[in-house]
Structure 1
Amino acid sequence: MNKTANFQLTQWEKTDRIMMEDFNRDNAAIDTALKGNADKAAALQTALASCGNCKIVYGTYTGNGKSGSANPNKLTFDGKPVLVIVQEEKQTADMDINLRMLRPCTWAQGAATNDNWVNAVTWGAAQVQWYSRNDYAPTQFNETGKKYYYLALIDAAV
């Protein structure tokens, strides 16, 4: 009589005598293995429920040419944003990547004294808004008619 490699379940050959004890032992082994897997799956579900439910949201917007503190850019989401990346659409073949990463902390790309970067970011429960202190639409990622892409990590559990 042969046995399976993983659980040592019975594999009869034509010449073997089939016994009820073999069936019962195999069923008990299968039942134990299935129960162990079910317990592990339940524990993983419990652990996952305690983690944040972060999701990825992406989209586009078209700049309107406005800038400065009176005209901030705003993106609204169905949960709390924890990271937002904005990328301008490039019409050239060069590999220059111009993007802004917005996250809830005191941070701006470039030196703190450099007014050419977005340097005023406000975070809300379901929104992020930003503006450029130098009142210049291209550095605020709001140039008239230009397309901008955004990608955000959203904490949907909040």
Structure 2
Amino acid sequence: MNKTANFQLTQWEKTDRIMMEDFNRDNAAIDAALKSSADKVAALQTALASCGNCKIVYGTYTGNGKYGRENPNKLTFNGDPLFVIIKGSIGSAPTFGIQAMRGWDIAYTDATDFSTICYLTWGEHSLSWYNSQSSTDQFNESGSVYPYIALFATQE
């Protein structure tokens, strides 16, 4: 009498005598395996339901040419984003941009020169930033349009 590789279920050949004990043992093993799988699926569904989801908000803003501590830029959201990315103005050469994670108070804005910094302030439903060197480094050149994307954790 042969057995299956995974659950050792009986595999009868034509010459084997079929025994009730073998049949009942196989059914009990199948039942236990199905119950274990169902329990694991239910546990994963419960865990996944508590993880929530990710909401993505995107848009643009137009720069006004100002910069510095007294002239911060500000994006306001419907909720508190966990991560915000602001890129260089539309139509300009690709730039590193501002990558801001909630809790960070600075963001480096140049991939080759880590001395270019925007100072970040996280408010209720908002992100503000400034750079003390130039409106270009603050991503706020007058008339330039800047795209942004914000990621939010949601509970559904």
Q: Distance in 1 between matches of 2:46 and 2:80?
A: 23
Structure-2 separation of matches of 1:118 and 1:23 = 72
TM-score (normalizing by structure 2): 0.68
The runs of at least 4 consecutive aligned structure 1 residues that moved more than 6 Å come to none
What is the TM-score of this pair, normalised by structure 1?
Answer: 0.67
* Equivalent of 1:132 in 123, 130, 133: 130
- Using the alignment, how far apart are the partners of 2:126 and 2:11 within structure 1? 63
Percent sequence identity over matched residues? 39
The match for 1:57 is: 56
Structural RMSD (CA): 3.4
The aligned runs of 1:1-158 (5 Å cut-off) are: 1-50=1-50, 52-55=51-54, 57=56, 59-65=58-64, 67=66, 72-77=73-78, 79-88=79-88, 91-92=92-93, 97-105=95-103, 107-109=105-107, 117-124=117-124, 127-132=125-130, 134=132, 136-143=134-141, 144-150=143-149, 152-157=150-155
The CA distance in 1 between the partners of 2:104 and 2:80, in whole Å, is 17
Aligned length: 146
Kindly indicate whether the alpha-carbon contact (under 8 Å) linking 1:104 and 1:123 is maintained by their aligned counterparts in 2.
no
Q: Distance in 1 between matches of 2:66 and 2:30?
A: 67
Structure 1 residues 66 and 73: alpha-carbon distance in aligned structure 2, compared to 1, 3 A threshold: farther
Q: Which runs of 5+ in 1 are unaligned?
A: 111-115
In 2, distance between residues paired with 1:66 and 1:91? 16
Partner AA of 1:155 in structure 2: A
